[in-house]
């Protein structure tokens, strides 16, 4: 099987955020056929690499939706592959440039991490929006949801891990979610799914 050598653009800004290296934390395979991505909706942890393989006789692309536009495979011919590593939590819709009008679209949803999963008040939880620190102009916007509440802004950071000090907080289930933001353009990914952590009595 041939491997497409094309790089995603603009690569210079994204090397620290996203890598197409062979050293992969986890791998998810997506098939390009006429005219769908299978599976079309992928959920995967931060640091995972998605590999698109063209299993049809027609060229396709894997192209991140604008305005964020993080990657573009260019034309991927039959039996060729393209891969992209997602190191920031968020939801990333994409399409085939040639066949989006025929419904060839998909989404990669990248889940954030939090450790430990539970602990008493005073526990220092590690909230992980990414597997790498963000490179300018990108930042991670993290929201928090208190028990019975709604998601609200918690902090914006370039760090791959931030500490949540639960001292003095009430027991219950709290949630965190994150999105990638380009501070130059204002473009964002969607938010990742909520990650639950529990403060025990």
Query: Domain containing 169 — which CATH number?
Result: 2.60.40.10
* Co-location of 41 and 89 in the same domain: yes
In a domain, 24, yes or no: yes
**Residue 4 is assigned to a structural domain of this protein:** no
Please indicate, yes or no, whether residues 48 and 63 belong to a single structural domain of this protein: yes
C-alpha–C-alpha distance, residues 57 and 111, integer Å: 33
The per-residue pLDDT for range 127-179, each reduced to its tens digit, is 999 999 999 999 999 999 999 999 999 999 999 999 999 999 999 999 999 99
Boundary of a domain, candidates 61, 84, 110: 110
Q: Name the residue with higher pLDDT: 71 or 21.
A: 71
Say whether both 46 and 22 belong to one domain: yes
**Are residue 85 and residue 142 in the same domain, yes or no?**
no
Query: 188 lies in a domain?
Result: yes
- Alpha carbon 104 to its chain centroid, in Å, reads 20
| Residue 143: Cβ within 10 Å count | 18
Same-domain status, 15 and 104 = yes
The partner residues of 45 in beta bridges, in order of sequence, read: 111
Q: Which of 110, 132, 162 is the last residue of a domain?
A: 110
Q: What are residue 118's phi and psi, to 5 degrees?
A: -155, 160
Same domain flag for 28 and 85: yes
Cα Dmax for the chain: 61
For the entire predicted model, the pTM comes to: 0.88
Q: How many domains in the chain?
A: 2
Confidence of residue 97 (pLDDT cuts 50, 70, 90): very high
């Amino acid at each position: 099987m041939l491997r497409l050598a094309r790089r995603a653009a603009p690569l210079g800004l994204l090397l620290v955020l996203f890598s197409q290296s062979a050293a992969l934390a986890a791998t998810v395979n997506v098939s390009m056929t006429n005219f769908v991505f299978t599976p079309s909706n992928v959920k995967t942890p931060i640091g995972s690499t998605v590999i698109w393989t063209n299993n049809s006789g027609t060229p396709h692309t894997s192209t991140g939706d604008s305005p964020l536009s993080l990657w573009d495979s260019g034309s991927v011919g039959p039996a060729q592959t393209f891969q992209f590593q997602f190191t920031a939590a968020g939801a990333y819709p994409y399409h085939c440039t040639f066949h989006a009008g025929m419904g060839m679209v998909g989404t990669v949803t990248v889940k954030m991490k939090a450790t430990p999963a539970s602990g008493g008040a005073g526990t220092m939880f590690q909230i992980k929006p990414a597997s790498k620190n963000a490179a300018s102009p990108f930042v991670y916007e993290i929201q928090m949801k208190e028990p019975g509440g709604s998601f609200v802004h918690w902090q914006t950071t370039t760090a791959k891990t931030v500490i949540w000090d639960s001292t003095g907080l009430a027991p219950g289930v709290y949630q965190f979610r994150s999105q990638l933001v380009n501070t130059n353009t204002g473009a964002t990914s969607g938010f990742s799914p909520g990650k639950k952590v529990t403060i025990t009595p």
